[in-house]
Amino acid sequence: MTDKQREEPANRFLADIGGTNVRFALQKKGKTANHLESYRTADYADLASAIANYFQRLPVETAPKEAAFAAASVVSGDRVELTNCPWIFSIQAIRKRFGFERLDVINDFTAIALGVPEIDAGDLYKVGGGKAAEDAPIVVIGPGTGLGVSGLIPTANGEWMALSTEGGHVTMAAVTDTEAGVLQKLRERFDHVSAERVVSGPGLLNLYEAIGGKAPVPASPDELTRRALDGKEPDCLAVLHTFCEMLGTVAGDLALTLGAQGGVYVAGGILPRFRDFFAASGFRRRFEEKGRFSDYLAGIPTFVICHPEPAFLGLAKLLDHDSD
């Protein structure tokens, strides 16, 4: 082994485990993640099978010794059960099988929150509000297969503490009579209508059925979005507007709850696909419509995160911090 090889930092293995897709990458401390690959969770029986396939495809001989996973789930012990995916795994079993000397597993939106301070301005798309206050709490929210929620709280030593929450499962509130009717129909299907039931990919389809779309239910959230943006199907367009407005309701509630004058950052795989529509939608109006605190919310900026892998930024930060 050469001196240069001895000095080269070792690869760390990163995994972002969602309900529909799992993303893997290698990353060296201080470097950009590389060897990014994305697999559909439905194509693999379990997480270990997907990891094994990824490692078989790598042009490296030695497996990484450090790893960090972001999981779309509650992470409170060794057993991790994905919320919107049938995968269940043991942290210790995965660590032993792949020879990791260290394996950290955190909630996926906790990871995204940790990554927010690392995102360049060019990967943020501002949608209203003023200037973010320094050293003030931040909200992170994102619709995808589910609805992720986290936050960043400034600490006395100048660093950030990321929250691990299940805020996507709060009860969805209606603002208009139309929304009240939609939620009533959904209560007939679900025992509890959470924000995630409407503000997510599957939530788009739930909204379409509840609104009473005349055409057959779209085969996927992507198809519904395409049909809405084509401007030829008013029912799909109405659903997309309702989706944006309900997201504004939830985001505004969270901003008030955390006092998020540091800004609200919207992540997830849905919004970057139609960010201009989103910016022109009722999201921002609904975000600010909080009665006596409308002026308070008007100053809080909201951003769409356009970085393709913000969770990897947070996972790298997690490993960096604990190894310093």
Whole-number pLDDT of residue 8: 61
275-313 pLDDT, tens digit each: 999 999 999 999 999 999 999 999 999 999 999 999 999
User: What is the spatial distance between Cα 21 and Cα 39, in angstroms, rounded to a whole number?
Assistant: 6
Burial state string for 50-82 with b = 16 or more CB within 10 A and e = fewer than 16? bbeebeeebeeeeebebbbbbbbbebeeeebeb
For residue 302 the two structure tokens come to 């909201």
pLDDT at 61: 66
Other CB atoms closer than 10 Å to residue 195's CB: what's the count? Answer: 27
- pTM to 2 decimal places: 0.94
What would you report as the CA-atom Rg of the chain, rounded to the nearest whole angstrom?
20
Give the CATH class of 120-305: alpha beta
Nearest partner of 263 among 155, 166, 121, 78, judged by Cα: 121
| Cβ-Cβ contacts under 8 Å for 210 (sequence gap 6 or more) | 181, 182, 183, 185, 186
pLDDT at 321: 81
User: Average pLDDT, whole number, for the chain?
Assistant: 94
In this prediction, residue 4 carries a pLDDT of 46
Domain-wise residue ranges, the chain: 3-113+310-323, 120-305
CATH architecture of 3-113+310-323: 2-Layer Sandwich (3.30)
**Residue 45 to residue 41: CA distance in whole angstroms:** 8
Reduced 3-state DSSP string for the chain: CCHHHHHCCCEEEEEEECCCEEEEEEEECCCCCEEEEEEEHHHCCCHHHHHHHHHHCCCCCCCCCEEEEEECCCCCCCEEECCCCCCEEEHHHHHHHHCCCEEEEEEHHHHHHHHHHHCCHHHEEECCCCCCCCCCCEEEEEECCCEEEEEEEECCCCCEEECCCCHHHCECCCCCHHHHHHHHHHHCCCCCCEHHHCCCHHHHHHHHHHHCCCCCCCCCHHHHHHHHHCCCCHHHHHHHHHHHHHHHHHHHHHHHHHCCCCCEEECCCCHHHHHHHHHHCCHHHHHHCCHHHHHHHHCCCEEEECCCCHHHHHHHHHHHHHHC
Q: What parts of the chain have a pLDDT lower than 70? A: 1-9, 60-61, 322-324
Domains 3-113+310-323 and 120-305 share a fold: no
